[in-house]
Amino acid sequence: MQIEKRVDDVKAQVKAWRNEGLSVGLVPTMGYLHEGHKSLIDRAVQENDRVVVSIFVNPIQFGPTEDLASYPRDLKADALLCENAGAALVFAPEDGEMYAPDFSTFVDMSGVSDELCGKSRPIHFRGVCTVVNKLFNIVTPDRAYFGEKDAQQLAVIRRMVRDLNMNVTIVGCPIVRESDGLAKSSRNTYLSPEERKAALVLSQAIFAGKALVAAGETDGDRILDSMKAMISAEPLARIDYVEMVKWDTIEVHHKVDCPVLVAMAVFIGKTRLIDNFIWE
Ligand code: AMP
């Protein structure tokens, strides 16, 4: 497996694969890889001749008070996971390789990116769309893989690809959880043992909300109220949002009468965690 830091070297390798008629899959990540990322890589390896994993903590998707500086990094361990999963190339650029000092072009979106995380992280999806667009231009993948863990991000990327006529198929992959239910996340490493226990309240509320819908409840407010009550009972938890939206447009919606996304962001101490379920 190759590890490349330079855009031109990735482009040259992809060109060589293309000349051989090989298909290419891309898995964009911020590194500190876990089983959730691995599930995306596994799927990509099944469906493509060559798989590129990008590892880049994208500075322009972090707000000024967010965790850019402390975000966990371990390129050695990440490269090993990628190699064992069958990736062909890891693209791990430095910030300067991706953003010239006078970089000034962004991909902006409205609507799909306005609610949920878009509300609490105003510049986040502009940064995500911009970097994913750049990665698509560098790697020119046939398929790109994103987790439903970041469900709004998946909807945003699908909208960008549709709106800008990008030649890539977006593949969504289910959330991978710890055995006790907590959604796997690189940010779980921030949690103290006490916070790790408290963090279970997210998945417990997700499972409870999903069970209500499965039992026939269609009233969005009743579903959200019961989930919020569960979370509020945990002293270390502070709700950022718990919302129901239409799954395709991410518009706030109050009834389970179409595919919906029920999504939450909750602070456990200083750590902001997200979780969700999709009901189609
Ligand atoms: P990140 O490194 O957090 O930016 O995540 C990179 C990709 O992995 C995104 O598409 C995420 O949605 C996906 N991902 C992260 N955690 C999980 C998980 N627990 N299950 C499935 N996909 C995940």
What is residue 12's predicted lDDT score, i.e. its pLDDT? 98
What is residue 232's predicted lDDT score, i.e. its pLDDT? 98
With a 6 Å cutoff on the Cβ, whether 150 touches ligand 1 is yes
With a 6 Å cutoff on the Cβ, whether 184 touches ligand 1 is yes
Please state, in angstroms and rounded to a whole number, the distance separating the CA atoms of residues 53 and 35. 14
Q: State the amino acid at position 34 in one-letter form.
A: H
- CA–centroid distance, residue 189 to ligand 1 (Å): 15
Please state, in angstroms and rounded to a whole number, the distance separating the CA atoms of residues 131 and 125. 10
Pairing of strands 237-246, 50-55: unpaired
With a 6 Å cutoff on the Cβ, whether 13 touches ligand 1 is no
With a 6 Å cutoff on the Cβ, whether 147 touches ligand 1 is yes
What is residue 38's predicted lDDT score, i.e. its pLDDT? 98
What is residue 41's predicted lDDT score, i.e. its pLDDT? 99
- CA–centroid distance, residue 146 to ligand 1 (Å): 7
Extract the runs of DSSP E, i.e. beta strands, from 73-227: 89-91, 143-147, 169-173
What DSSP line would sit under 5-61, residue for residue? --HHHHHHHHHHHHHTT--EEEEEE-SS--HHHHHHHHHHHHH-SEEEEEE---GGG
Q: Is 37 a catalytic residue?
A: yes
What is residue 223's predicted lDDT score, i.e. its pLDDT? 98
- CA–centroid distance, residue 186 to ligand 1 (Å): 9
What is residue 70's predicted lDDT score, i.e. its pLDDT? 97
How many CA atoms lie within 13 Å of 95's alpha carbon, on the beta-carbon side? 10
What is residue 158's predicted lDDT score, i.e. its pLDDT? 98
What is residue 172's predicted lDDT score, i.e. its pLDDT? 98
Chunked mean pLDDT (size 10), the chain, 280 residues: 98 98 99 98 99 98 97 98 98 98 97 98 97 98 99 98 98 98 98 98 98 98 98 98 98 98 98 98
- CA–centroid distance, residue 80 to ligand 1 (Å): 18
What is residue 137's predicted lDDT score, i.e. its pLDDT? 98
Please state, in angstroms and rounded to a whole number, the distance separating the CA atoms of residues 89 and 76. 14
pLDDT digits (tens, 9 = 90+) for 41-80: 999 999 999 999 999 999 999 999 999 999 999 999 999 9
With a 6 Å cutoff on the Cβ, whether 124 touches ligand 1 is no
With a 6 Å cutoff on the Cβ, whether 173 touches ligand 1 is yes
With a 6 Å cutoff on the Cβ, whether 25 touches ligand 1 is no
Closest protein CA for atom 12 of ligand 1: 147
Q: What is the DSSP letter of 198?
A: H
What is residue 161's predicted lDDT score, i.e. its pLDDT? 98
What is residue 262's predicted lDDT score, i.e. its pLDDT? 98
Q: What is the DSSP letter of 252?
A: B
Chain mean pLDDT for the chain: 98
What is residue 269's predicted lDDT score, i.e. its pLDDT? 97
Closest protein CA for atom 18 of ligand 1: 36
Q: Element (H or E) spanning 270, and its range? A: none
What is residue 230's predicted lDDT score, i.e. its pLDDT? 98
Q: What is the reported pTM?
A: 0.98
Shortest CA distance to 173 belongs to which of 64, 58, 42, 18? 42
Q: Looking at the CA of residue 185, tell me the nearest atom of ligand 1.
A: 16
Please state, in angstroms and rounded to a whole number, the distance separating the CA atoms of residues 107 and 89. 26
Catalytic residue, chosen from 37, 124, 253, 254, is: 37
